[in-house]
Structure 1
């Protein structure tokens, strides 16, 4: 039995899971594809509009080599979080 069901394993779903964990809730993430599937399907050379600081979740620093992170950097970050 779960206290919380999270639909979607994208950045927002992961952020919800991190907060649920902090609150001691038993949760389950349901995702139809891979973790952060929406980012996985972005164009290979895509760069985000936001800075890495605005994309951070769970207090985990998002370090990017650029002012705005790339798709590859984002996939690595969210899979690591």
Structure 2
């Protein structure tokens, strides 16, 4: 996940921000079972990192992370399931 976070933000003087690479590294880690990467994939889908915003895909990734005890994922699922969903921007 460290590589994903680095590419999500870039490092001034070293390399530019690259959301595509951030997404790629997070997806690889999530598919190998890293719970924090599953949360990141939910976040990326929710806000549109590496592709268009997709709340349903975000819910799926957040659910996977929540099933493994990620509290932030549980909170995001709750926010997205409220009567007036509160998506991140």
TM-score (normalizing by structure 1): 0.29
Structure with the larger RCO, 1 or 2 (CA within 8 Å, 6+ apart)? 1
Question: Hey, which of these two has a bigger chunk of strand by percent?
Answer: 1
Q: Which has the higher helix share?
A: 2
